Structure 1
Amino acid sequence: MTERRWELPDEGATAALATRLAAVLDEGLVVYLHGDLGAGKTSFARALLGALGVGERIKSPTYSLVESYSAQGRPAWHLDLYRIADPGELEWLGLDALYDPAALVLVEWPERGAGALPAADLIVHLGYAGAGRSAVMEPRSERGAGALARLSRVDAGDVA
């Protein structure tokens, strides 16, 4: 399956897209979130985690680098690597848990952790589009392609 694009007129549309993606996740997934500052990466991650039942406050990991949650009984990790200058800085975080195939791993600024992160199943590019935003999702594995196909069916009005 090829990439898919959405126009997102406001933050609510970004959250709605993340919520629809959450509804079709039936296994772990590694999601790289790309975009400029303010493009909606953290908003997308918060909405996705919230839709997966994370009841606690979903904090931005800008300063802590990583936050862990339980999402529908599975581990979920949210990383923000904006402040990382070199992937070697990630060694002390104990990122081995990110390789759990049942885990949801959301990574903002993944290019800053190149070589120290599990490979992406799905890449989400968030960007500015006029007064709103846009999202492009690109599958990078069979799991990512499956999630995107199920999301496409939901968007088309078919049952997931």
Structure 2
Amino acid sequence: MIISLNGLDEPHLVRLAARLAPALRDGGTLYLRGDLGAGKTTFARALLQALGVDARIKSPTYSLIESYRVGGLDIHHLDLYRIADPGELEWLGLAELSDGLSLVLVEWPERGAGSLPSADLQLRLDHADAGRDLAARALSLRGEAMLAAWDPARPG
């Protein structure tokens, strides 16, 4: 299943993240792909806020990973932009993240190829004339359920 949306401005992107949040409360792995400045961190931050993270949400660009706990759900937000080789990730203990009980959000997943849990859902954000385009693609049965529960077209 694939959902494509075009010409999104930042407020619309934030609303879409908030609408996706309920579908992720049982955990899973979400890959966020796109060029620099395409909106990956904006989407991740809005998603974390919608999930109930009330702490300051820092971009993990330098720390590589920021973790949160909300209502019994462990959430791990990774930003691998600064990784040159997937071998650099060994010390992060990423194997423990693939237990299926946590929510793992990964920006720049291509830089951690082979070291990351498999994605359930992949979002691709691209620059577009009037904003951004978003394509959401399910990569597992869990991802199919996430997309089925998401209603991106709902007004508001």
Aligned-pair identity in percent equals 57
| Contact residue 52 and residue 72 of structure 1 kept, 8 A | no
**Cross-structure match for 1:140:** 139
- Which whole-Å CA distance do the structure 1 matches of 2:133 and 2:79 have between them? 20
Does residue 63 of structure 1 match 2:53?
Answer: no
1:10: Cα distance to partner? 1.4
**Cross-structure match for 1:155:** 153
Q: TM-score, normalized by length of structure 2?
A: 0.94
**Cross-structure match for 1:9:** 8
* Secondary structure in 2 matching 1:17: helix
1:63: Cα distance to partner? 0.4
Alignment of 1:1-160 (within 5 A): 2-152=1-151, 155=153
- Which whole-Å CA distance do the structure 2 matches of 1:64 and 1:8 have between them? 32
| Contact residue 34 and residue 123 of structure 1 kept, 8 A | yes
- Which whole-Å CA distance do the structure 2 matches of 1:11 and 1:71 have between them? 25
| Contact residue 126 and residue 132 of structure 2 kept, 8 A | yes
1:29: Cα distance to partner? 1.4
1:27: Cα distance to partner? 1.3
- Which whole-Å CA distance do the structure 2 matches of 1:25 and 1:79 have between them? 16
Corresponding letter in the other structure for 2:131? G
- Which whole-Å CA distance do the structure 1 matches of 2:8 and 2:95 have between them? 37
Corresponding letter in the other structure for 2:129? G
1:6: Cα distance to partner? 1.4
Contiguous gaps of at least 5 residues in structure 1: none
Q: TM-score, normalized by length of structure 1?
A: 0.91
Q: Deviations over 1:69-108 (max 9, x none)?
A: 1133200000000100100000011223311212110000
1:13: Cα distance to partner? 0.7
* Secondary structure in 2 matching 1:155: coil
| Contact residue 25 and residue 51 of structure 2 kept, 8 A | no
- Relative to structure 1, the CA distance from residue 71 to residue 134 in structure 2 (aligned partners, 3 Å threshold; closer, same or farther) is farther
| Contact residue 49 and residue 71 of structure 1 kept, 8 A | no
RMSD: 1.4
Greater Cα shift, 135-144 or 67-76: 67-76
